Structures are given as C-alpha cells and as structure tokens.
Amino acid sequence: MATKIRLQRGGRKGYAFYGIVIADVRAPRDGKFTEKIGTYNPNTNPATVDLNFDRALYWVETGAQPTDTVRNILKSEGVYMMKHLRGGVKKGAFDEATAQKKFDAWKENKLKGFEAIREKDAKTKKDAEKAELEAEKKMNEAIAKKVADKKAAEAVEKAEAEAAKHAEETEQQPEEAAPVAEAEAPVAEVETPAAETETPAEA
C-alpha cells in the first residue's frame, strides 16, 4: 500500500487547523486515514505543532511520503534530523548516545529560535498596543479640547449677551425719568400770574 503523510483540514471558516494523518494515496482528501500522528495550527506565531515524534519517525523510515507542507513540519520538528542520525549509527559513524547528544543540541538551538520569534512577536504586539493607546489618548485630548473650546465660546457668548442686555436697560432709565421733569414744569407757570395780580394794588 502506497502511503502518504498529509494534512486533514479541521476548524472553522477563517480559523483552520489541521490533523497530521497517515493515509492511502488513493483515499479522498477528507476520507478515511490509517492513523493520526499530530495536529498543526498555523494561526499562531510560530505555528503550533503537536506531533507524536516516534510514530512520525516510524512512518518516515518505512517510506511514507509526506506532502510538501508536512515535510517542512517534520523537518522543523527534527524527524528528518533523527532519521539522518540513526542512519549514521547504522553505518557505524557514531553510537546512539552521540546521536542523541547531537539531536538534543540541535533541538535546544531550535527552541531558542522559536523563543526569539515569540519574544519578537510579543514585543511587536506590545508596541502596537502602546501606539494604539497613545493614539486613543491623543484623540481623547483633542475631543476634550474641542468640548472645552465650545464651552468657553458659549460662556463668552453668554457674557456678551448679558452685557448687551445690561447696556440696553441702562439706556432706557433716563428716558423713563424725563416725563417726571416735564410734569413738574407747569407748577412754576401757575405761580407766575399771582405775582402779576399783586402789582396793580400798589398803584
């Protein structure tokens, strides 16, 4: 039976993740599979892989052909590295302890690379959040200034209106006092004839 190692899609629209499966080359894309050896989630950075390493190595050594994406996953996880080292042990180039030591050193270096990617991603997210907060702060300050300017303009407008009203009331007061002065004037005119009637008596 010709066997391949491929991905089987799962998840939902816009957030797909995959199972890593062993299947017959003639099986349909979403058909039956022989064995599931792991999962692959490309939505994280770096992508998250949960792999049964021993079973993956077994199938690679028995000749199962991975798809391009799965091959990259297996290389990243060290399956092909271990296959190469075990080949060296069989040829007598080094013993199993040396092979395991080489693999552990490779794995440690690989993990450091992943950690650097995670730290960079975390820093990028932190910087983006900081920039977003700064932008939001500036926007809030601009809105607060706009509101303060509007209130100040309304206060000035109200003060000007009150000043104009007060000035208008002040102008109306002399006009109201003028008729009183005019009403008092005829009294003086009435007293004048009395003085004129007394003059003939002296003659």
**Is the model's pTM score more than 0.85?**
no
Rounded to a whole number of angstroms, the CA Rg of the chain reads 49
* CATH number (domain holding residue 67): 3.30.1320.10
- Domain contains 157: no
What pLDDT does 195 receive? 47
- Domain contains 128: no
Residue range of the domain that includes 23: 3-78
Amino acid, res. 184: E
What pLDDT does 166 receive? 79
Mean pLDDT by 10 residues, the chain (203 residues): 87 88 83 90 90 95 94 94 93 91 91 78 83 88 90 87 80 58 52 50 47
- Give the tokens for residue 151: 């209130």
Taking alpha carbons only, the member of 90, 89, 109, 108 closest to residue 99 is: 89
Name 48's bridge partners.
41
What pLDDT does 203 receive? 43
- Domain contains 142: no
- Domain contains 61: yes
- Domain contains 11: yes
Helices (H), the chain: 53-61, 68-77, 79-91, 96-202
What are 52-81's pLDDT values in tens digits?
999 999 999 999 999 999 999 999 999 999
What pLDDT does 71 receive? 96
- Domain contains 21: yes
Domain count, the chain: 1
Strand order in the sheet with 15-24: 48-51, 35-41, 15-24, 3-12, 65-66
- Domain contains 8: yes
- Domain contains 115: no
Q: Are 19 and 36 in contact, with CB atoms under 8 Å apart?
A: yes
What are 122-135's pLDDT values in tens digits?
788 888 888 888 89
Nearest 5°: the CA angle 9, 82, 92 is 155
What pLDDT does 80 receive? 94
